[in-house]
Structure 1
Amino acid sequence: MAHLLGAEGLSITFGTRTVLDDITLGIDAGDRIGIVGRNGDGKSTLMRLLARMSAADSGRVTWRGGVSVGFLDQSDVLDGESSIRDAVVGDMADHEWASDPRMRDIASGLLDGLDWEQPIGALSGGQRRRVALARLLMSEHDVLMLDEPTNHLDVEGVAWLAHHLKTRWKADEGAFLVVTHDRWFLDEVCTLTWEVHDATVESFDGGYAAYTLARAERDRSAAVEEQKRQQLVKKELAWLRRGAPARTSKPKFRIDAANALIDDVPEPRDTVGLRKMATARLGKDVLDLEHVGLTVHAEGREKVLFDDVTFRLGPGERVGVVGVNGAGKSTLLHLLDGRTEPDVGRVKRGKTVRTAILSQEVEELRERNHMRVHEVMTEEKNVFEVGGKELSGAQLLETLGFNRTRQWTPVGDLSGGERRRLQLLKLLTGEPNVLMLDEPTNDLDTDTLASMEDLLDGWPGTLVVVSHDRYLLERVTDHQVALLGDGAVRALPGGVEQYLRIRAGREPVPGATARTYRGQSTLQAASTPGKGQAGGSRPVAPVGGSAGTRTGSVGSADSGASEAEKRQAKKQMARIEKQMEKLSERQQKLHDQMAAASESVDLDRLRKLQSELDGVDVELAELEEIWLEAGELME
């Protein structure tokens, strides 16, 4: 394949820290490269050097004659006075760009619903990002370099961008480099992964999953080598520690060899560890939105975000939220947290509930930019309970990758990822029992994300996650709901894939349902008669009774179920028991198949089996709830 551009002997130092040291690499036509690494290790710096947007201290970057390189920066570089039309297509007439299928696809995929005459300065951060991405993709380039292109894109936008990059060129044409924390995206579009760490760049074949496996094997080999080295060190130290007469009679090269072994200890990688924090006790009642309605004013008009929505969170429930931009995902969190009051309806809050929101904008740290990291951590208390142990503020910061030197850095000088880490740690020290994360993956590297997921796996409280990161949602939440911009909250038993099918028009919007999850959350997606799909939710009549005040609940003891209703409930229970037995058998078979797929490291099959298992789990949980409801009629 044709060589497009390359770098030879690149080195660059910031202050006293060498970020890249003697890097030599190349990009050929057909390369689809994902760049990963810890925050601050030089991913964006490497890309800017290759794009000739920054100069190295030494080394050179060469482009093949005639090669065109397009670059998407993390920062906003658009002119606020220009209109969307000027920024994206310039002076091109509508019939010129609209006659190009690729340009039409970009316009519909990224700019759908935007007024092209609107000035850039009036757009939100997410909309400006979409315009910048559209402007870049509209142009013809041999190489695309994208720095965090998925930031501010919703799940649908990320899926569109992945498809566009996969189909933009033929297999042996063009090339792109992408820096992103979105692991699903890396797996979907990349065939090569570069890991930037410790001033070097290592190359791995495949996307994120293949890179993870290769890195695990590399770490295993390194551990074996380190064990061998340690054994040699012990032997040589034992020899050196013999009496002085013995040492004087030994050849000097043995002493030098022993000292070399002792000195040759590799520097530890900057690991990130998130340990289980103390959590306040959570009672039976958590948070309920009951018949909530909310209208906001946006762009000079009124917009209904929620219309008669009932949404319940139970203790230990883990729910993911997806939806179109502007549908009210962040507002939903603010309603649950009490920051926003509904126009109608009420928010019922348990007595022991203690909430915390990880916001998108890292607002909590802005007023502390002048303070040092350690001062921010210890401004309320100096000792923290973590995993049953007491840690000082300095020790706790070290678990999150802030070494002793970095702890005395002003907050204003931290990278975006470091600020995100500090923000999360600060929230957890407040011991919340309901944690709400609003786009938590923004600015975090893949190692920090893995550590955060490890923490959330053991999170004992209730968890609500708003994210476009499919990998994160499927890993840390048990079920997902969707906000489609029609004022309702809709259950997604089929997960993110179902949401994408609905948005693409390949599956109808869920009809009148009232799903009760294992965590006691009832989601109403029923269309109120006379309102069509935009209608809100209403209580659904239980078996043998009329609708009660609590959505999906069965009539209470004073409902006076008749003997006929009891017989009907008994038949229903027997029928459900048979269905549950079949589902349990299917569940066990899927577990056995996943165990076999794990042994053969078949990642594609594992993903498919996990998706199928998630569907079985949801269906089984729903049947259990219906069985319990019918059982109450028998009492």
Structure 2
Amino acid sequence: MTRPGRPLFTDVSLTLSTGDRLGIVGLNGTGKSTLLSVLTGEVEPESGAVRRGRDVRIATLPQRPVLPTGTVLAAVEAVAERDWEAAAVLDHLGMASLTDADTSRLSGGQAKRVALARALVAPSDLLVLDEPTNHLDIDAIAWLEDRLDSYRGGLVLVTHDRHVLDRVTNRVLELDRGRSYLHDGGYAGYLEGRALREEQAVTQEATRKNLARKELAWLRRGAPARTSKPKARIDAATTLVETRAEPAARSGIPDLWFGTPRLGDKVVELTDVSFHHDGAPPLFSDIELMLDNRERLGLVGPNGAGKSTLLDLIAGRRSPSTGTIDVGSTVRIGYYDQIGVELDPRQRVREAITGGRREPDWQDAALLESFWFDGDAQWAPIELLSGGERRRLQLLLVLAQKPNVLLLDEPTNDLDLDTLRVLEEFLDDWPGALIVVSHDRAFLERTVADVIVMDGHANPSRRPGGYAAWEEQRRASMVRGRIADPRKAPSGSSGSSSTKASKARSAEKPATRSPSTLRFLIKDLEKEIKRLAKAKDRLELKVADLAVSGDHVELTRLGGELTAVLAELNAAEEQWLELTDEAERASN
């Protein structure tokens, strides 16, 4: 399949059988959604053939679903074998309160959840899902993992959620600049296979350079008397010398944070902040929050708890119902929300960077290339971009403003895995304050140091230790499959089940991992140790200053944060030692 200017993918050969669990990964714009459309028969391939088994039933979740008219519940019941299952699945996906709503009045995220419910309850032999975790909260994603894990037919999904890929897939198809690579072993197998391919490319390039030096020396020598150099060898030598290795698909966001305005000590302070819509109960109440100039804060909780609304308040898009929000004089806010900067579909990509106010120059072109919009893509109309490419362009437009306070609302939706990893690395060293709303567990683990839990029960409050610490506490409060009210003490049965679960986990034997996979894990862990060490140094300086000033309340709070960071750092260092020992054993 092609799109104007370049092929999406060529010569893809693939067989899917009952019980297969295939994840499709690749850069935005490489044709993942198009390949799904070819598999389901929605789009015919430009070459080749797709053969499907007789009477195979396919249930699909497209990137932009279209729902039938009527109520939400009726739309799902229309394709379900059992009516009760329609209501149950909608409940698990957070749509129980909207079962009587008209499908024409749903938001994009709500419509996607209804379409996902339709795909899950429809009788099928093959389930094809395009970004099923978008717009789901953490509990819904965990339930979806269990549902897909127990599905008996074939499964094909495109997702950016690394936890989901690791849990439910056993093969991964990678699309990379027109070519396809099939990896066995799920997400870990994909990482291993890709690392091996990159190592082989380095070896092949070294071999090519050695041969090129010899051929170049041969070309420069004059021909002996009465002889001439064979034309075929001259052509081959020239080709060898002029050939260049293909660069990596993703290299990073180079120096984009240089020039970020310095952020003063006063960032954003929220005092007794509450918010409610007219005639409705409050979404949240009595929020007290003081942001640090190197803040790394995540907002977590179920859909509808007010996380995006809180970001709107901080950004100044809304006013609090009660309380005050005080923004420092040096603050420059960049807000990457779920909708993104409005883009003119008829505008070319290169014109979007200037807003149409002037002719793009070489600096604009370099900035676009740093975000992986090459020469051809810069001249493409925005309407030809994939959903992920549009989101990447919107992210670029936010970062190009050089904000020193960055608000990210579900930043992982529709972005490819490589972009996410590069964004995580960029945020490691970015010299500003960061607040993230996300249901992507891997992204939260990499980017935030503390979380604010907004669950509709207790008042939102800061929890040190990041996502992992909160998730551990949350799982400990599970009672018979439901979250216990945090205002109540956990029962003995909860503690007992938690203890049994921890014993079961400790009894599990780790799977044998390859040296390439271990190298990836060690590299990621070293970045985490570096981040924690920076956080420790920053907190120790603050604690030392407060010990002199005598602010005992703030000193107590920071002391607790420092203790949590030290515990995380010690755990990370222990894990690093275990991984390096395992890597040493694997290489022997």
TM-score (norm 1): 0.74
Q: Among residues 48, 55, 70, which one is paired with 1:66 in the alignment?
A: 55
Aligned to 1:376: 352
Give the direction of change, closer, same or farther, for the CA distance of 1:246–1:505 in structure 2 (3 Å limit): farther
Is the counterpart of residue 356 in structure 1 residue 344 in structure 2? no
Amino acid at match of 1:234: R
- 2:275 aligned with 1:294: yes
Q: Secondary structure at the match of 1:480?
A: strand
Which of 494, 505, 520 is matched with 2:482 structurally?
A: 505
**Cα offset for 1:356?**
0.9
Alignment-derived partner of residue 523 in structure 2: none
Deviation at 1:308, TM superposition (A): 1.4
- The CA deviation at 1:285 is 1.2
1:185 is matched with 164
Partner of 1:495: 470
Alignment of 1:527-606 (within 5 A): 552-553=553-554, 587-588=569-570, 590-598=572-580, 600=582
- Return closer, same or farther for 1:551/1:206 CA change in 2, 3 Å cut-off: farther
Which of 184, 197, 204 is equivalent to 2:176?
Answer: 197
Alignment match, 2:67: 78
In the alignment, the residues of structure 2 paired with residue 177 and residue 226 of structure 1 have an alpha-carbon distance, to the nearest angstrom, of: 35
Secondary structure, aligned partner of 2:439: coil
Distance 1:43 1:583 in 2: 39
Per-residue CA shift, 1:507-535, capped at 9, x if unaligned? 552689xxxx9888xxxxxxxxxxxxxxx
Aligned counterparts, 1:284-363, within 5 A: 284-297=265-278, 302-362=280-340
Change (3 A) 1:585 1:288: closer
> Aligned partners of 1:296, 1:580: CA distance in 2, in Å?
38
The 3 A distance-change label for structure 1 pair 21 and 412 is closer
Check if 1:87 corresponds to 2:75: yes
Distance, in Å, in 2 between the alignment partners of 1:464 and 1:125 is 23
User: For this pair of structures, how many residues does the alignment match?
Assistant: 518
Shift of 1:589: 6.6
Structure 1 residue aligned with 2:546: none
What secondary structure is seen at the aligned counterpart in 2 of 1:202? strand
Q: Percent identity?
A: 39
User: CA shift at 1:211, angstroms?
Assistant: 1.2
Within 2, Cα distance between the matches of 1:481 and 1:324?
12
2:342 partner SS: helix
Equivalent positions of 1:106-255 (< 5 A) are 106-169=89-152, 174-243=153-222, 245=224, 248-255=227-234
* Distance in 1, Cα, partners of 2:44 & 2:434: 45
* Equivalent-residue separation in structure 2 for 1:246 and 1:439 (angstroms): 72
| CA–CA separation in structure 1 for the residues paired with 2:564 and 2:311 | 37
Matched, 1:415 2:386: yes
1:283 matched to which residue of 2? 264
Asked whether the 8 Å contact 1:111–1:131 carries over to 2, the reply is no
CA displacement, residues 413-450 of structure 1 (integer Å, 9 cap, x when unaligned): 32222222222222222221110101111121111111
CA distance in 1 between partners of 2:362 and 2:79 (Å)? 61
- Pairing partner for 1:426 from 383, 397, 403: 397
Residues 157 and 49 of structure 1, relative CA distance in 2, 3 Å threshold: same
One-letter amino acid of the counterpart of residue 287, structure 1: V
Contact 1:304 1:487 in 2 (8 A): no
**What is the alpha-carbon root mean square deviation over aligned residues?**
3.4
Q: Secondary structure at the match of 1:22?
A: coil
**2:301–2:454 contact (8 Å) kept in structure 1:** yes
Cα distance in 2 between the residues matched to 1:312 and 1:581: 19
* Residues 129 and 247 of structure 1: CA distance in aligned 2, closer, same or farther (over 3 Å): farther
The question of whether the paired residues in 1 share the 8 Å contact of 2:130 and 2:157 is answered with yes
Give the structure with the larger strand fraction. Answer: 1
Structure 1 residues 247, 341: CA separation in 2 closer, same or farther (over 3 Å shift)? farther
Q: Deviations over 1:73-101 (max 9, x none)?
A: 1112102x3111210113989xx533xxx
State the Cα distance separating 1:239 from its structure 2 match: 1.3
For 1:137, the aligned partner's letter is L
Specify whether residues 307 and 121 from structure 1 end up closer, same or farther in structure 2 by C-alpha distance, changes over 3 A only. Answer: same
Aligned equivalent of 2:517: none
C-alpha deviation, 1:104, in angstroms: 6.3
**TM-fit CA distance, 1:15:** 3.6
Partners in 2 of 1:92 and 1:166 — Cα distance?
A: 20
| Paired AA for residue 36 in structure 2 | M
**2:23 aligned residue:** 34
Go from structure 1 to structure 2 and tell me whether the alpha carbon gap of 1:588 and 1:58 turns closer, same or farther (over 3 Å shift): closer
Amino acid across the alignment from 2:353: M
What whole-Å deviation, never above 9, does each CA across 1:262-291 have from its counterpart, x for those lacking one? Answer: 355454454353123221101111111100
Deviation at 1:229, TM superposition (A): 0.7
Q: Could you say which structure has the larger radius of gyration? A: 1
Mapping 1:601-616, distance limit 5 Å: none
Alignment deviations for residues 151-200 of structure 1 (CA, whole Å, 9 cap, x no partner): 1111221111111101223xxxx110000111121112111100012323
Q: Deviations over 1:470-496 (max 9, x none)?
A: 111101111222211247213444234
Q: Structure 2: how far apart are the matches of 1:375 and 1:305?
A: 40
**Letter in structure 1 aligned against 2:577:** A
Compute the displacement of 1:317 (Å).
Answer: 1.1
Structure 2: which 5+ residue stretches go unaligned?
Answer: 490-534, 540-550
Structure 1 residues 193 and 338: alpha-carbon distance in aligned structure 2, compared to 1, 3 A threshold: same
- Partner of 1:63, secondary structure, is coil
Distance 1:119 1:487, change over 3 A: farther
- In structure 2, the residue corresponding to 1:176 is in which secondary structure? strand
Unaligned runs of at least 5 residues, structure 1: 1-11, 385-389, 521-549, 555-568, 570-575, 603-635
- Counterpart AA for 2:171: L
Question: 2:274, 2:287 within 8 Å by CA — same for their partners in 1?
Answer: yes
* CA pair 580-186 structure 1, distance change in 2 beyond 3 A: closer
Q: Which amino acid aligns with 1:596?
A: E
The aligned residue for residue 566 of structure 1 is: none
Structure 2 counterpart of 1:46: 35
Q: Which range moves more in the overlay, 190-199 or 265-274?
A: 265-274
Map of 1:400 onto structure 2: 371
Q: Structure 1, residues 221-275: CA drift from partner, whole Å, max 9, x if none?
A: 1111111111111110111012355894444554243134235545445435312
| Cα pair distance change 1:381/1:588, threshold 3 Å | farther
In 2, the alpha carbon distance for the partners of 1:448 and 1:46 equals 20
Equivalent residue, structure 2, for 1:485:
456
Q: Distance in 2 between matches of 1:236 and 1:472?
A: 48
2:10 alignment partner AA: D
Letter paired with 1:290: T
Could you tell me how far apart the structure 2 residues matched to 1:49 and 1:586 are? 46
| Pair 1:315–1:380, CA change in 2 (3 A) | farther
Q: Distance in 1 between matches of 2:474 and 2:567?
A: 28
Counterpart residue identity of residue 419, structure 1? R
Q: TM-score, normalized by length of structure 2?
A: 0.80
Q: For the Cα contact (< 8 Å) 2:287–2:461, is it kept in 1? A: no
Counterparts in 2 of 1:334 and 1:344: CA distance versus 1, 3 Å: same
